[in-house]
Amino acid sequence: MTPDIRPLVAGNWKMNGTRASLDQIKAIAEGVKTDLSEKVETLICPPATLLYVATALCDDSPLAIGAQDCHQAQSGAHTGEISADMIADCFGTYVIVGHSERRTDNAETDHLVRAKAEAAYEAGLTAIICIGETADERKGGQTLDILKRQIAGSVPDSANSENTVIAYEPVWAIGTGLTPTVADIAEAHAFMRDDITKRFGPAGHTMRLLYGGSVKPSNAAELMAIANVDGALIGGASLKAEDFLSIFGAYKTLLD
């Protein structure tokens, strides 16, 4: 954790969820109605088909709703895409950009991710910018070099602690059940903090840095206690209200 930074526990549902899954969002929205929500922010990013209905379910809850991607343009002939303005129009407040699955499956570059983050800012959204190394890059000792390159290329110059969250997701740990050691995560997050502080000054001290990669109820408390880890970007464990709320609840002890 970083002193004086309100952690964020965010769930990325990826290509999962139908209307039947709204019961899980409703349960999460109810479950975060505790005093802990004053200290810890919560977010679910469902598929775009559920975005508007999900925000309606959270009218009286501190649970925020966001999207998993946006196009860099405000509008136009981009069949099948969703703009940041459309997300905001559905009352979404966050958008994930540059997730490793987007970078891999859709060949998204740092330059494109930066443009998407800038589009998010223009629409009044907070961008969660994802970075992380592959297994081969890690084996080659390139982890910190990759993080430095992706931060430089993907994070806009206008980033600040209000409009930007950076999520470190080692690609090889996403959905595999594998997790880096505490020391590995601490090293990566300390490097990221130093890098953004050199670039953004005081804003770098308060920008939230999330960890993502096989975060689950059994390891959440240990991972969230690591220095400069200001919350989690959760995949599979966010699909079940019980698991998500358990990870959220890990902060009860950490923040006492």
Residue 227 backbone phi and psi in degrees, to 5 = -55, 135
Q: What is the pLDDT along the chain (256 residues), one digit of tens a residue?
A: 888 899 999 999 999 999 999 999 999 999 999 999 999 999 999 999 999 999 999 999 999 999 999 999 999 999 999 999 999 999 999 999 999 999 999 999 999 999 999 999 999 999 999 999 998 898 899 999 999 999 999 999 999 999 999 999 998 877 777 778 999 999 999 999 999 999 999 999 999 999 998 899 999 999 999 999 999 999 999 999 999 999 999 999 898 7
The architecture (CATH level 2) of 8-254 comes to: Alpha-Beta Barrel (3.20)
- Ordered by start, the domain boundaries in the chain are 8-254
The dihedral formed by the CA atoms of 149, 152, 154 and 160, expressed in degrees to the nearest 10:
140
The angle, 0 to 180 degrees and rounded to 10, between the axes of the packed helices 143-154 and 110-122 is 40
Q: Check residue 144 and give its pLDDT.
A: 96
What does the pLDDT read at residue 176? 77
**pLDDT for residue 172:** 83
**234, β-bridge pairs:** 11
Residue 2 pLDDT: 85
SS3 labels along the chain: CCCCCCCEEEEECCCCCCHHHHHHHHHHHHHCCCHHHHCCEEEEECCHHHHHHHHHHCCCCCCEEEECCCECCCCCCCCCCCEHHHHHHCCCCEEEECCHHHHHHCCCCHHHHHHHHHHHHHCCCEEEEEECCCHHHHHCCCHHHHHHHHHHHHCCCCCCCCCEEEEECCHHHCCCCCCCCHHHHHHHHHHHHHHHHHHHCHHHHHCEEEECCCCCCCCHHHHHCCCCCCEEEECHHHCCHHHHHHHHHCHHHHCC
Report the pLDDT value the prediction gives residue 256, as an integer from 0 to 100. Answer: 76
In this prediction, residue 175 carries a pLDDT of 73
Q: Quote the pTM value.
A: 0.96
Q: Are 84 and 76 in contact (CB under 8 A)?
A: no
Amino acid 141: pLDDT: 92
Spatial separation of the C-alpha atoms in residues 101 and 108, rounded to whole Å: 9
187-197: b (≥16 Cβ within 10 Å) or e = bbbebbbebbe
Catalytic residue numbers?
A: 99, 169
